[in-house]
């Protein structure tokens, strides 16, 4: 293996890497330093080194399908172009049989995971959300169900009058296997008040993931960046996630989400490619204890997502098939990618593709 010194011109980066190797987590100042260095290739080298220490030269992907049962949402976050209010054009709510049809189609194409998230519907009863999970598990017992963000879990708890723990236990009993990481946005409360005043607090988001982990439900975590936040807000967000991971070990993957402003009430320039790549690298190093970093190609676009595999990401998420949240906000990436395309993206950066299941068990290694 090549010595890091020969790949890095900013020698402070090597020191930060060695600090991690000695078992010391990176501080807020360290995280900011990583963002501010001009040595972008050096940053890639140390992030990639940590990535390979955890995952070797492998890059994961899953054959999955995203299903968004409704876009009606009582929250109406300023950054969200997906949600609608009842009566607005473009609003929809899927029946159980429509959900089942989408699932059947995915199953026939070899899906191993359903990723289910949606709006907070103004009048669906709590039981409907449970029924979605129960029905899918009954019909496709072999397919993993990754469903409902912490924001939805909090909503279910409010509309049912049950505790978060009881809601999660009931969902688990119905067939829920894990939870996605959405809804974290950025933990800075002042910015949350502007971006998503109706949304649960950062503390509540963390508490719901803590409860899920306690019940043995693995979850992912996310950060929405490229809107009103500072670099300090980003690094503080990552450190809060790392602390929960130290406590529970329940996060499987971190997914940085690059903000798409089109059709939203937040008028900003989107993040640049370099900012996206730096964010992948900084996340890999600050979240040294989270096993996987996802380059979510839907948001990054295929090109940056592929380069992210050289900046510390080891997972391309999946085939996805039909994506609504980012495409409502102007994403120009395709709606889905074939397995063949994902394999090519990974092989072209000199890494080894691994088809995984939702819990990162290896289904097939494409040596
Ligand atoms: O929670 C909403 C974000 C999230 C916009 O856990 C936006 O495996 C960018 O969480 N621009 C949903 N982002 C996506 C998500 C996710 C995706 C893939 C994998 C996993 C996982 C999780 O998308 C929302 C919100 O944070 N979002 N609007 C927008 N305009
Ligand atoms: Fe609703 Fe989620 Fe969109 Fe906020 S981000 S409006 S909670 S669907």
Q: Whose CA is nearest to atom 15 of ligand 1?
A: 182
- Any ligand 2 atom below 6 A from CB of 222: no
157-190 pLDDT per residue, tens:
999 999 999 999 999 999 999 999 999 999 999 9
Range 195-212 average pLDDT: 98
Mutate which of 255, 257, 295 for ligand 1? The one with the most ligand atoms within 8 Å of its CB, which is 257
The residue among 162, 92, 170, 93 whose CA lies nearest residue 137 is 170
Specify the pLDDT at position 1. Answer: 82
- Any ligand 2 atom below 6 A from CB of 150: no
Atom of ligand 1 nearest to the CA of 261: 30
pLDDT of 286 above 80: yes
d(Cα 226, Cα 193) in Å, to the nearest integer?
A: 16
Token pair, residue 108, equals: 């026939």
- Any ligand 1 atom below 6 A from CB of 252: no
The residue among 127, 178, 129, 170 whose CA lies nearest residue 152 is 129
Range 224-239 average pLDDT: 98
d(Cα 104, Cα 21) in Å, to the nearest integer?
A: 46
Range 199-212 average pLDDT: 98
Atom of ligand 1 nearest to the CA of 81: 30
43 by Cβ neighbours in 10 Å (0-12 / 13-18 / 19+) ranks as buried
d(Cα 214, Cα 352) in Å, to the nearest integer?
A: 34
- Any ligand 2 atom below 6 A from CB of 68: no
Specify the pLDDT at position 328. Answer: 85
In the chain, the percentage of residues whose pLDDT exceeds 70 is: 100
5-28 pLDDT per residue, tens:
999 999 999 999 999 999 999 999
Ligand 1: centre distance to CA 293 (Å): 14
pLDDT of 333 above 90: no
Specify the pLDDT at position 113. Answer: 95
Closest ligand (CA of 253): 1
Specify the pLDDT at position 7. Answer: 94
Atom of ligand 1 nearest to the CA of 82: 28
pLDDT of 336 above 80: no
Specify the pLDDT at position 331. Answer: 82
The mean pLDDT value of the chain amounts to 96
Closest ligand (CA of 152): 2
Where do the domains of the chain lie, and which CATH numbers do they carry? 9-16+24-361 (3.20.20.70)
Q: What is the pTM of this model?
A: 0.97
SS3 93: strand
pLDDT of 296 above 80: yes
pLDDT band at 324 (very low <50, low <70, confident <90, very high): confident
Mutate which of 73, 325, 329, 331 for ligand 1? The one with the most ligand atoms within 8 Å of its CB, which is 325
d(Cα 72, Cα 44) in Å, to the nearest integer?
A: 40
pLDDT of 322 above 80: no
Least confident of 99-108, 205-214, 333-342: 333-342
Using an 8 Å Cβ cutoff, are 248 and 260 in contact?
A: no
Using an 8 Å Cβ cutoff, are 83 and 77 in contact?
A: yes
Specify the pLDDT at position 223. Answer: 98
pLDDT band at 56 (very low <50, low <70, confident <90, very high): very high
pLDDT of 337 above 90: no
The residue among 163, 157, 87, 169 whose CA lies nearest residue 120 is 157
Rg (CA), the chain: 20
Ligand 1: centre distance to CA 325 (Å): 7
Q: Between 322 and 79, name the one with better pLDDT.
A: 79
235-272 pLDDT per residue, tens:
999 999 999 999 999 999 999 999 999 999 999 999 99
């Amino acid at each position: 293996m090549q010595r890091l010194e020969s790949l890095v011109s900013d020698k402070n980066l090597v020191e930060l890497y060695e600090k991690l190797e000695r078992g010391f987590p990176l501080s807020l100042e360290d995280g900011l330093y990583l963002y501010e260095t001009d040595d972008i290739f050096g940053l890639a080298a140390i992030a990639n080194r940590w990535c390979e220490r955890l995952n070797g030269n492998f890059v994961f992907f899953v054959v999955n399908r995203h299903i968004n049962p409704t876009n009606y949402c009582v929250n109406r976050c300023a950054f969200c172009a997906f949600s609608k209010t009842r009566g607005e054009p473009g609003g929809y709510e899927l029946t159980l049989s429509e959900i089942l049809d989408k699932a059947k189609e995915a199953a026939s194409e070899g899906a191993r995971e359903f990723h289910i998230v949606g709006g907070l519907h103004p009048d669906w009863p709590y039981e409907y959300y449970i029924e979605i999970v129960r029905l899918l598990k009954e019909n496709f017992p072999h397919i993993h169900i990754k469903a409902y963000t912490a924001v939805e879990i909090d909503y279910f708890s409010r509309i049912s009058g049950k505790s978060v723990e009881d809601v999660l236990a009931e969902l688990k009993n119905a067939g829920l296997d894990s939870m996605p990481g959405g809804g974290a946005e950025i933990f800075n409360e002042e910015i949350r008040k502007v971006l998503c005043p109706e949304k649960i607090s950062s503390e509540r988001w963390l508490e719901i993931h803590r409860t899920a982990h306690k019940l043995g439900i693995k979850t992912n975590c996310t950060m929405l960046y490229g809107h009103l936040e500072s670099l300090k807000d980003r690094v503080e967000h990552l450190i809060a996630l790392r602390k929960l991971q130290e406590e529970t070990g329940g996060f499987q993957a971190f997914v940085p989400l690059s903000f798409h402003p089109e059709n939203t009430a937040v008028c900003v320039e989107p993040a640049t490619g370099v900012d996206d790549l730096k964010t992948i690298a900084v996340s890999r190093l600050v979240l040294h204890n989270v096993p996987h970093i996802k380059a979510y190609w839907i948001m990054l676009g295929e090109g940056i997502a592929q380069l992210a595999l050289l900046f510390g990401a080891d997972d391309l998420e999946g085939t996805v098939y039909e994506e609504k949240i980012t495409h409502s906000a102007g994403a120009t990436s395709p709606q889905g990618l074939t397995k063949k395309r994902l394999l090519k993206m990974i092989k072209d950066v000199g890494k080894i593709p691994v088809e995984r299941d939702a819990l990162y068990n290896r289904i097939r290694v494409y040596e």
